Amino acid sequence: DGGITQSPKYLFRKEGQNVTLSCEQNLNHDAMYWYRQDPGQGLRLIYYSQIVNDFQKGDIAEGYSVSREKKESFPLTVTSAQKNPTAFYLCASNNRAHYGYTFGSGTRLTVV
C-alpha cells in the first residue's frame, strides 16, 4: 500500500544532541513537508521541499535542518540549537498538481 512512513514513533533526546527523524513516501509525490504540533498551536510548518535537492524554510525553521536527496525521502534533523524541541512531528506529502496532504503517523520527540 502507498503511504508515508515516519520513524521512529517515539524518540528521546538528551540536551545538546542532534537527532534525525525519518520520513519516507512511496506515493511518487513531488512535494514533502515537515510540521510540528504543539498543544493549542495547531500545525506549524518547519520546512518543505517541492523537488529533489531543493527545500524552503517554513515559519519555524530555526534549529532544524533537512535534506532532499531522493524523491522518496525527506529527513528532518533537530539540532541542539532548537531550544524547545519536545513536540509531535508530522511529515506530509502531496502532488503539486493536487490539493491536500497525505500525512505520516508522526514522531513524538521528548527531550530528557
Partner 1 sequence: DQQVKQNSPSLSVQEGRISILNCDYTNSMFDYFLWYKKYPAEGPTFLISISSIKDKNEDGRFTVFLNKSAKHLSLHIVPSQPGDSAVYFCAASAYGSSNTGKLIFGQGTTLQVKP
Which residues lie near partner 1 (CB under 8 A)?
4, 6, 9, 31, 33, 35, 40-45, 48, 50, 88, 90, 92, 94, 96, 98-106, 108
The nearer residue to partner 1, 3 or 70, going by C-beta atoms, is 3
Min CB(13)–partner 1 separation in Å: 18
Closest CA to 13 of 74, 87, 91: 87
d(CA 74, CA 66): 7
Per-residue cell: 19: 537527532
User: 14 vs 98, which CB is nearer to partner 1?
Assistant: 98
Q: Which residue has the cell 518543505?
A: 48
Least separation in angstroms between residue 80's CB and partner 1 is 26
Q: What is the C-alpha separation between 14 and 86, in angstroms, rounded?
A: 11
Smallest separation (angstroms) from partner 1 to the CB of 53? 17
- Between residues 51 and 81, which has the closer beta carbon with respect to partner 1? 51
68: left (phi over 0), alpha (psi -120 to 50) or beta: beta
